[in-house]
Amino acid sequence: MALWGNQDNVGSAGTVSLDYDTGVVTGSGTTFGSGSAGAAHTEPHVGDVIRFGERDGTYFGDAVIISIASTQQCTIGSTMGLSGAAIAGVEYQVSTLPKSTVLDRSYSESSFVNKEAPSFKTLITTHVEASGGVAAGSSILSTFAGDLIPPNGPLVVGDLYKDGSSKNIPILGFGTATIAADNISPVGFLTVFFDTTLTPAIGAEFSSGSFGIENYDLGKVVSTSSTSVTFTNALVEEVGIGSVILLSDAYFVSLGSTIENALSQGDPISFGRFSSGYDKYTYGVSDANAAAAQGSQFAVAHSGWVGVQTHIDNHGNLRVKGEVLVAASGITTGNVPIYDTDPTS
């Protein structure tokens, strides 16, 4: 029995189910053992690797076929490479990839072996500055933005605010925000009307920011009430209901949606991002695939059978590490995903 072949496109008609206890795979519409078992066979045979599920859907992992009882029944040698989730009536693929990867724990789909589900990683915790706190329904947090972003802090736009135990809201801006006017202010007015409980950094303690409507400056804050703010500069055009007011203040962190949990002054507020454990998968890479991947993160040193490990680091960056397991020309492909500049997408 060869340790590998050159086919990443062996036929995979029908669907399969697996009995984890016995290793028996039962097919529906399958063609196990049909046709020649030669170097260029077109149907699954003993020694081939069966890949349960779909990489762009639910993928259960790989196993080696060790015996075939009929066109609709075969047996696998080990479940070590599988996730452990029930396999019933699923799509599959068959390959002559290196069988050694099936018993290599680093390629296993089992969460007990090497997987870490994507999880929220707290990067920095600060506190609410505004004396009135932050009301539920606000999309602006009151904390000193300069402490959160480089060179003082680790955050970037797109990182997340942790709102309670289950909601994470993306950050849209540091030191800037917007809010819609909810009443009319005519030309010459100094006062603009909006719900200031939703803009917690506007108040006596934080009144040094700049404010504007579209392309002109409203100046500084003179006074506030719960429904309006008076500025130093008179309006040069009418503000209508729904007009977007541009806010800029060192104590603004603007969010992509409103918070559900109200905050009081001094309450801790945490920010972070998701990172995930690694995924490792064996690809059949033809000469054409290798050429297509050049210049990308997924560039390979040689065509052949390539193990590719990926993970998202705590900065939100995709990290890719490739290892040529077997350098070979003439790999025939057809299984998905096709290897290119991003076979994971």
Cα 26 versus chain centre, distance: 34
Cα 322 from chain centroid (whole Å): 20
pLDDT at 132: 84
Average pLDDT in the 212-229 region? 77
In the structure, what pLDDT confidence band is assigned to residue 116 with cuts at 50, 70 and 90?
A: low
Whether 213 has a pLDDT exceeding 80, the answer reads no
Average pLDDT over residues 316-329: 90
Handedness of CA 193, 195, 197, 198 (dihedral sign): negative
- Tell me what the mean pLDDT of segment 107-121 comes to: 73
User: Which stretch, 61-65, 141-145, 251-255, has highest mean pLDDT?
Assistant: 61-65
- As a whole number, mean pLDDT of residues 180-185 equals 92
Q: What's the confidence (pLDDT) of residue 115?
A: 59
Between residues 278 and 123, the one the model is more confident about: 123
| pLDDT greater than 60 at residue 206 | no
Q: What pLDDT does residue 201 have?
A: 61
For residue 281, the model assigns a pLDDT of 94
Q: Model confidence at 207, in pLDDT bands (50, 70, 90)?
A: very low
In whole angstroms, what is the distance from residue 322 CA to residue 298 CA? 7
* Most trustworthy range by pLDDT among 12-21, 162-171, 189-198, 308-317: 12-21
What's the average model confidence in pLDDT over 3-8? 94
**Residue 76 in contact with residue 63, Cβ under 8 Å?**
yes
Mean pLDDT over residues 15-42, rounded? Answer: 93
- Model confidence at 283, in pLDDT bands (50, 70, 90)? very high
pLDDT at residue 327, rounded to an integer: 96
Q: pTM value?
A: 0.61
Read off the pLDDT band of 86 (50, 70, 90): very high
Which of 87-101, 229-243, 280-294 has the lowest average pLDDT? 229-243
63 forms bridges with which residues in the sheet? 50
- Between 3 and 208, the more confident residue is 3
| Residue 220 CB coordination number (10 Å) | 13
Task: Indicate if the pLDDT at residue 205 is higher than 90.
Answer: no
pLDDT value of position 344: 78
Q: Kindly indicate the confidence band of residue 204, based on its pLDDT and cuts at 50, 70 and 90.
A: very low
Q: How far apart are CA 7 and CA 15, in angstroms?
A: 20
Which is more confidently placed, 224 or 326?
326
**Percent with pLDDT over 70 in the chain:** 92
Q: What would the 3-class secondary structure string for the chain be?
A: CCCCCCEECECCCCEEEEECCCCEEEEECCCCCCCCCCCCCCCCCCCCEEEEECCCCCEEEEEEEEEEEECCEEEECCCCCECCCCCCCECEEEECCCHHHHHCHHHCCCCCCCCCCCEEEEEEEEECCCCCCECCCCCEEECCHHHCCCCCCCCCCCCEEEECCCEEEEEEEEEEEEEECCCCECCCCCEEECCHHHCCCCECCECCCEEEECCEEEECEEEECCCEEEECCCCCCCECCCCEEEEEEEEEEEECCCCCCCECCCCEEEEEEEEEEEEEEEEEECHHHHHHHCCCCCCCCCCEEEEEEEEECCCCCEEEEEEEEEECCCCEECCCCCCCCCCCC
Answer whether 170's CB lies under 8 Å from 256's CB.
yes
pLDDT of res. 130: 86
Q: Which of 76, 72, 6 is nearest to 33 (CA)?
A: 72
**Tokens found for residue 193:** 């009307």
Q: 210 near 219, Cβ under 8 Å?
A: yes
How far is it, in rounded angstroms, from Cα 281 to Cα 61?
9
